[in-house]
């Protein structure tokens, strides 16, 4: 199985967490080995431990300019946030006047820990206050007018010094004046987690009541943080017990964490020979990385304004690329980046960018690059070189065209032969290429993929002979017209793109229009029902239907809706019967939507799990009964319950326990035992090119999985093991293949990430 190339890791996800600096790690280790005493103990070892703790506190107070304010060590930022909110709300509850309406305010781009904590403690404390999000402008700056309007009746306001996704900073002096002019007595918490080491702070000269910090965002270990409490600000201990931290926060202190912080604070206070770069240098680092990104991805859009953000964060999107595609690409090049906030990595899109009013595609395609103030010029040079290598790999997949300014380290292209599935969300575009004739078919082109398709055609030197939609209705947006105007401007075709110069052939006892692509024929089968303008396209060879592009007529686990003005259940029933006579049971049905990552289906698979489709295909249902049952299904779909129906069919038909999961050791044993196990690497060609070493694996990109399934339907008992970067894609692909009868399909749990 493949091993990663010996590439040094380029870590550009510092806003999520940072590595522990060697000096800080040494200090923590020393504290564990020699200064391991309990600071509460009165013997010498305990006194030495207490001295270290107080030295760390003193340096922190000097660094932050806390003055008479308190500084309490915590387990991290989340505890500091809880401590701040709890203290403020308990005090605010005493001031509530009956019959008056109150609120608590927080920035709409705030870390989710803040609004969720506000809701939690308001409920626990039984405080009747509305939680309101303060809007931001296109730069992520808080709305002054909203604060002026709502702060007078607010119990607490929570803002952020520096945003974790965009690096956008708030002008605290301006913000303070706005808040205090509106309500001098409101309790104010400022999340300073991302500000430490990146901006200067002088807390004693502000009216900030609470400011939480975290150690692991600035080269200290996880599990250590601290919170500032302004002198005379109300305070309630979040953790009670043994009375440590002068009774303000109980629990034995994390001395190794404090020892690490002590070293970091000392470095930040040092004016010379510090491990940390100054602000001007950090700005030059960001510009160098941004320039490299622009050279490598000329269509890049930066989501954060550099003028309004700290110099250690870059947030960007590349048109036609999802955030996952870029993350997978960079991960293959050993570059670590994130999609938005690491704390919400499973969420599609960024609520921060949404709040800033950015287009949905930018939010869903956002990539965050972030580095810390200990970044060096050598680190930046390595990062830029690696970004160039990663972008070069995209030319291998024909996802970008060669750029002479970058070079030509990766010249060989992954030749496209056969079927390719491209996606945007749950929508699919299908491309069929014939290498011998350099011809291509494009079916259901999506507007989001126009540039990707254009690049693919140019890079592979393909000529499209038809660009066709399978259907058209009010909520369907096609990208066909733009591509057709470019490549097929002289072609005479109907409203869906089917060429008028096609010939008529007889197939399965039915007269069909047909066009040739290489040695295959594409047949047009009118299949109205979902909409009146619906067709199915059947790609066949020697009277054998290989693929059927059925649009929305047949989906995985469901049928297309028939409650549009231009649709008809009766017509759909006739179309289904026609398809049943035209297609073989193992013809792969390629729908225009794939809501559950099933890739493809067959009539046999659908008839087993979909009683409505089964009855229709077997001719065991009357037209009236079909119309009635289809209307009921459409009603559910219209009420947005359709996804649950399809999901239920999907989950119910896929027995995950039947899919074997290997780890690296057991897979190595299986390969060595000569049991016929074959490893299939389902990463995209650019990922494979970046990290593949000589071994016996075969690269079958996930975008080519349907082609692989079609070519190997006679080998459903072959023991294949699917592998990818993390194990997520391989599990999804294994489930889809198992549902189609591949009985011995398995995957590598944890992928390559856990295999070395």
pLDDT at residue 362, as a whole number: 93
274 pLDDT band (50/70/90 cuts)? confident
Q: Give pLDDT tens digits for 102-161.
A: 999 999 999 999 999 999 999 999 999 999 999 999 999 999 999 999 999 999 999 999
CB-based contacts of 511, cutoff 8 Å, min separation 6: 504, 505
**Cβ(186)–Cβ(154) under 8 Å?**
yes
3-state secondary structure of 406: coil
Does 372 score more than 90 pLDDT? yes
CA atoms within 13 A on the CB side of 70: 22
Helix residue spans in 110-254 (DSSP H): 113-124, 144-150, 172-182
**Cβ(235)–Cβ(107) under 8 Å?**
no
Helix residue spans in 423-465 (DSSP H): 450-460
Q: Give pLDDT tens digits for 702-725.
A: 999 999 999 999 999 999 999 999
What is d(CA 324, CA 421) in angstroms, rounded to the nearest whole number? 16
**Nearest Cα residue to 64 out of 189, 174, 212, 164:** 212
pLDDT at residue 412, as a whole number: 58
Element spanning 483, H or E: helix 480-487
Give per-residue burial for 443-456: e unless 16+ CB within 10 Å, then b: bbbbebbbbbbbbb
Q: Give pLDDT tens digits for 652-670.
A: 344 555 789 999 999 999 9
pLDDT at residue 612, as a whole number: 65
Mean pLDDT of 288-293: 98
More confident residue, 402 or 644: 402
pLDDT at residue 640, as a whole number: 44
CB atoms near residue 225 (< 10 Å): 26
CA atoms within 13 A on the CB side of 582: 29
What is d(CA 103, CA 101) in angstroms, rounded to the nearest whole number? 7
Greatest Cα-to-Cα distance within the chain, rounded to the nearest angstrom: 98
pLDDT at residue 403, as a whole number: 53
Mean pLDDT of 381-389: 96
Q: Give pLDDT tens digits for 423-466.
A: 988 899 999 999 999 999 999 999 989 999 999 999 899 999 99
pLDDT at residue 406, as a whole number: 39
pLDDT at residue 77, as a whole number: 95
Mean pLDDT of 360-382: 95
Residue carrying structure tokens 């390595």: 382
Instruction: Identify the active-site residue in 158, 192, 343, 647.
Output: 343
**Cβ(165)–Cβ(109) under 8 Å?**
yes
Average pLDDT for the chain: 88
Q: How far is CA 266 from the centre of its chain?
A: 37
pLDDT at residue 647, as a whole number: 34
pLDDT at residue 440, as a whole number: 96
In sequence order, what are the beta bridge partners of 543?
Answer: none
pTM for this one? 0.87
What is d(CA 107, CA 133) in angstroms, rounded to the nearest whole number? 5
What is d(CA 736, CA 747) in angstroms, rounded to the nearest whole number? 12
Burial grade of 307 (CB within 10 A; 0-12, 13-18, 19 or more): exposed
Q: Give pLDDT tens digits for 330-365.
A: 999 999 999 864 444 444 689 999 999 999 999 999
Q: What is the DSSP string of 7-27?
A: ---EE-BTTT--PPPHHHHHH
What is d(CA 498, CA 482) in angstroms, rounded to the nearest whole number? 15
Distances (CA, A) of 151 to 93, 136, 506, 558, 696: 16, 16, 75, 51, 65
pLDDT at residue 441, as a whole number: 97
Distances (CA, A) of 87 to 73, 237, 247, 374: 16, 8, 14, 35
Mean pLDDT of 633-638: 65
**Cβ(261)–Cβ(220) under 8 Å?**
yes
Distances (CA, A) of 649 to 25, 606, 645, 646, 746: 52, 10, 6, 5, 21
Cα angle, residue 665 at apex, residues 661 and 666 outer, rounded to 5°: 45
Best mean pLDDT range from 322-326, 397-401, 625-629? 322-326
What is d(CA 76, CA 216) in angstroms, rounded to the nearest whole number? 8
What is d(CA 714, CA 112) in angstroms, rounded to the nearest whole number? 50
**Cβ(362)–Cβ(303) under 8 Å?**
yes
**Cβ(595)–Cβ(427) under 8 Å?**
no
302 pLDDT band (50/70/90 cuts)? very high
Best mean pLDDT range from 6-20, 51-65, 476-490, 530-544? 51-65
Mean pLDDT of 280-304: 96
Report percent pLDDT > 90 for the chain.
67
**Cβ(67)–Cβ(232) under 8 Å?**
no
Does 649 score more than 50 pLDDT? no
3-state secondary structure of 504: strand
Angle between helices 450-460 and 480-487 (to 10 degrees): 30
CB-based contacts of 645, cutoff 8 Å, min separation 6: 557, 558, 633, 636, 637
More confident residue, 364 or 403: 364
What is d(CA 458, CA 449) in angstroms, rounded to the nearest whole number? 14
Residue carrying structure tokens 């499973």: 346
**Cβ(238)–Cβ(2) under 8 Å?**
no
What is d(CA 733, CA 620) in angstroms, rounded to the nearest whole number? 33
Distances (CA, A) of 165 to 169, 213, 216, 366: 11, 17, 16, 10
**Cβ(373)–Cβ(282) under 8 Å?**
yes
pLDDT at residue 347, as a whole number: 47
Going by DSSP bridges, is the β-strand pair 720-723/746-748 parallel, antiparallel, or unpaired?
A: parallel
Helix residue spans in 208-365 (DSSP H): 255-269, 279-296, 323-332, 351-355, 360-364
**Cβ(549)–Cβ(443) under 8 Å?**
yes
Q: Dihedral of the CA atoms 608, 611, 616, 620 (nearest 10)?
A: 100
Token pair listed for 286? 């960001």
More confident residue, 736 or 541: 736
3-state secondary structure of 141: coil
Q: Give pLDDT tens digits for 495-532.
A: 999 999 999 998 878 888 999 999 999 999 999 988 88
Token pair listed for 221? 């270990």
pLDDT at residue 532, as a whole number: 86
**Cβ(398)–Cβ(413) under 8 Å?**
yes
261 pLDDT band (50/70/90 cuts)? very high
343 is catalytic: yes
SS3 content of the chain, % helix, strand, coil (to 5): 40, 20, 40
**Cβ(576)–Cβ(570) under 8 Å?**
no
Taken as a whole, the chain contains a residue count of 756
Token pair listed for 573? 């029933």
243 pLDDT band (50/70/90 cuts)? confident
pLDDT at residue 694, as a whole number: 54
**Nearest Cα residue to 206 out of 239, 173, 174:** 173
pLDDT at residue 409, as a whole number: 40
pLDDT at residue 654, as a whole number: 45
Report percent pLDDT > 70 for the chain.
91
Q: What's the chain's Rg over C-alpha atoms?
A: 30
């Amino acid at each position: 199985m493949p091993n990663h190339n010996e590439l040094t890791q380029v870590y550009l996800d510092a806003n999520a967490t940072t590595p522990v600096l060697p000096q800080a790690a040494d200090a923590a280790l020393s504290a564990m080995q020699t200064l391991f005493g309990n600071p509460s103990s009165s013997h010498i070892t305990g006194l030495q431990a207490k001295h270290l703790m107080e030295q760390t506190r003193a340096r922190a107070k000097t660094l932050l300019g806390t003055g008479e304010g308190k500084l309490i060590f915590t387990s991290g930022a989340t505890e500091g946030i809880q401590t701040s909110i709890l203290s403020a709300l308990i005090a605010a509850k005493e001031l509530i006047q009956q019959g008056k309406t109150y609120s608590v305010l927080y920035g709409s781009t705030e870390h989710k820990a803040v609004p969720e904590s506000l809701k939690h403690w308001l409920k626990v404390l039984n405080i009747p206050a509305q939680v309101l999000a303060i809007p931001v402008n296109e730069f992520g700056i808080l709305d002054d007018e909203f604060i002026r309007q709502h702060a007078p009746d607010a119990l607490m306001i929570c803002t952020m010094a520096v945003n974790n996704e965009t690096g956008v900073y708030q002008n605290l002096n301006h913000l303070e004046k706005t808040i205090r002019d509106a309500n001098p007595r409101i309790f104010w918490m400022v999340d300073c987690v991302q500000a430490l080491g990146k901006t200067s702070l002088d807390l004693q000269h502000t009216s900030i009541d609470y400011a939480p910090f975290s150690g692991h965002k600035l080269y200290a270990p996880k599990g250590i943080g601290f919170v500032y409490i302004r002198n005379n600000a109300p305070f309630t201990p979040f953790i009670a017990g043994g009375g440590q931290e002068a009774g303000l926060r109980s629990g034995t202190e994390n001395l190794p964490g404090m020892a690490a912080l002590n070293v970091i604070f000392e470095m930040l206070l040092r004016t010379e020979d510090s491990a940390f770069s100054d602000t001007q240098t950090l700005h030059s680092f960001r510009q160098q990385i941004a320039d490299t990104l622009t050279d490598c991805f000329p269509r890049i859009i930066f989501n954060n304004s550099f003028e309004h953000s700290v110099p250690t964060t870059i947030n960007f999107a590349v048109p036609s690329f999802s955030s996952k595609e870029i993350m997978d690409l960079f991960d293959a090049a050993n570059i670590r980046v994130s999609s938005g906030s690491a704390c919400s990595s499973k969420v599609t899109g960024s609520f921060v960018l949404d709040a800033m009013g950015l287009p949905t595609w930018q939010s869903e395609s956002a990539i965050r690059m972030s580095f810390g103030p200990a970044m060096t010029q050598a680190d930046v040079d390595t990062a830029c070189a690696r970004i160039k290598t990663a972008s070069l790999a995209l030319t291998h997949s024909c996802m970008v065209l060669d750029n002479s300014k970058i070079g030509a380290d990766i010249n060989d292209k992954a030749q496209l032969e056969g079927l390719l599935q491209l996606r945007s969300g749950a929508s699919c575009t299908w491309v069929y290429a014939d290498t011998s004739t350099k011809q291509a078919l494009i079916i259901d082109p999506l507007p989001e993929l126009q540039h990707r398709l254009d690049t693919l055609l140019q890079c592979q030197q393909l000529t499209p002979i038809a660009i066709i939609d399978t259907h058209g209705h009010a909520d369907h947006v096609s990208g066909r017209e733009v591509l057709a105007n470019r490549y097929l401007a002289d072609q005479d075709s109907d409203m869906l793109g089917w060429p008028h110069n096609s010939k008529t052939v007889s197939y399965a006892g039915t007269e069909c229009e047909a066009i040739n692509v290489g040695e295959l024929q594409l047949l047009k089968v009118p299949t109205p029902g979902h909409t009146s303008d619906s067709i199915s396209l059947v790609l066949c060879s020697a009277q054998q239907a290989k693929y059927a592009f059925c649009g929305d007529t047949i989906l995985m686990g469901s049928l297309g809706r028939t409650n549009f003005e231009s649709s008809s259940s009766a017509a759909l029933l006739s179309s289904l019967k026609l398809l049943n006579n035209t297609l073989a049971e193992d013809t792969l049905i390629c729908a225009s939507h794939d809501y559950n990552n099933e890739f493809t289906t067959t009539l046999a698979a659908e008839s087993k799990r979909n009683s409505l489709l089964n009855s229709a295909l077997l001719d065991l249902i009357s037209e009236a009964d079909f119309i009635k049952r289809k209307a009921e299904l459409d009603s559910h779909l219209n009420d947005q319950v359709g996804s649950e129906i399809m999901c239920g069919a999907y989950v119910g038909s896929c027995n995950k326990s039947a899919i074997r999961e290997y780890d690296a050791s057991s897979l190595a044993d299986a390969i060595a035992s000569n049991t016929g196990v074959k490893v299939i690497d389902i990463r995209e060609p650019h990922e494979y090119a970046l990290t593949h070493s000589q071994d016996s694996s075969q690269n079958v990109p996930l975008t080519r999985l349907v082609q692989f399934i079609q070519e190997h339907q006679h080998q459903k008992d072959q023991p294949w093991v699917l592998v990818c970067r993390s194990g997520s894609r391989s599990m999804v692909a294994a489930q889809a293949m198992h549902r189609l009868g591949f009985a011995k399909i398995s995957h590598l749990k944890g992928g390559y990430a856990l295999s070395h």
